Amino acid sequence: QQPVQSPQAVILREGEDAVINCSSSKALYSVHWYRQKHGEAPVFLMILLKGGEQKGHDKISASFNEKKQQSSLYLTASQLSYSGTYFCGTEKGSSNTGKLIFGQGTTLQVKP
Amino acid sequence: GAGVSQSPRYKVTKRGQDVALRCDPISGHVSLYWYRQALGQGPEFLTYFNYEAQQDKSGLPNDRFSAERPEGSISTLTIQRTEQRDSAMYRCASSLGGRSQPQHFGDGTRLSIL
């Protein structure tokens, strides 16, 4: 079953923060985050593997609450380059293939 | 090459024709995935290969769709007797293998069925 992302869209000014959420009704093994710019391929950002794990690089970080089957992506002090559509891809606990089920995406627009 | 390579980039064909889409994964990547992505939507899983073995084809919409990876490297997704509803972006991704590995996507093939 497809994970649900919220919000569907967000508009920010440069320097503002944003949070994108991803919720699943299924037990999850991991959550993957990707960013896709218009006309381009999705680009891998990070994987969250453990319950409560937080990861990040630069000013983008994420958390994974295994019990709640939720993950959140945090974008701090947003830059123009952060604009794009963000997808979470979920890997079920019962899967051993790495198969991902993607959410419907969250479109982020950062304005000067 | 350095990334996942897909060809052709664009394919326009008439309804009823067969099409073959090619994917050349990153060298050394044993896992290969095919996804379909509708405009404004996330990628939708089609099928998965581990080396040459097709281990999951649960996402293939019907028996007009098939895929192969005979030597564990290049893969071909074939759609027979195409229909207009098959029009979409078809993306291939590869990874080192196993669970929880980053998947690296190709630029995709934009398929249009007239």
* Tens-place pLDDT, residues B36-82: 999 999 999 999 999 999 999 999 999 999 999 999 999 999 999 99
**Interatomic CA distance for residues A10 and B34, integer angstroms:** 29
Residue B18: partners with Cβ closer than 8 Å, 6 or more residues away = B78, B79, B80, B81, B82
Check A29 against B31: CB less than 8 A apart.
no
Nearest C-alpha of chain B: how many angstroms from A37? 11
The torsion region of residue A84 among left (phi > 0), alpha (psi -120 to 50) and beta comes to left
Q: Which of B13, B51, B37 is nearest to B92 (CA)?
A: B37
Check A104 against B101: CB less than 8 A apart.
no
**How many C-beta atoms lie closer than 10 Å to residue B54's C-beta?**
16
Q: Which of A11, A25, A5 is nearest to A73 (CA)?
A: A5
Chain B residues with beta carbon closer than 8 angstroms to that of A87: 42-43
B contact residues 34-53, partner A, Cβ 8 Å cutoff: 40-45, 48, 50
The DSSP secondary structure of B17-47, one letter per residue, reads --EEEEEEPPTT--EEEEEEE-TTS--EEEE
Chain B residues with beta carbon closer than 8 angstroms to that of A96: 99
DSSP 8-state code for residue A81: G
Q: Which of A61, A70, A62, A56 is nearest to A28 (CA)?
A: A70
Residue B62: partners with Cβ closer than 8 Å, 6 or more residues away = none
Give, in order, the Cα–Cα distances in Å from B101 to each of A17, A96, B104: 28, 11, 9
Q: Which of B43, B44, B98 sits opposite A42 (nearest CB)?
A: B43
DSSP 8-state code for residue B98: S
* Tens-place pLDDT, residues B6-47: 999 999 999 999 999 999 999 999 999 999 999 999 999 999
Ramachandran angles phi, psi of B91, nearest 5° = -120, 145
At residue B97, does pLDDT exceed 70? yes
Counting Cα atoms < 13 Å in the Cβ hemisphere of B111 gives 29
At residue A53, does pLDDT exceed 70? no
* Tens-place pLDDT, residues A66-105: 888 899 999 999 999 999 999 999 998 777 788 999 999 9
Give, in order, the Cα–Cα distances in Å from A9 to each of A28, A34, A71, A82: 25, 15, 17, 13
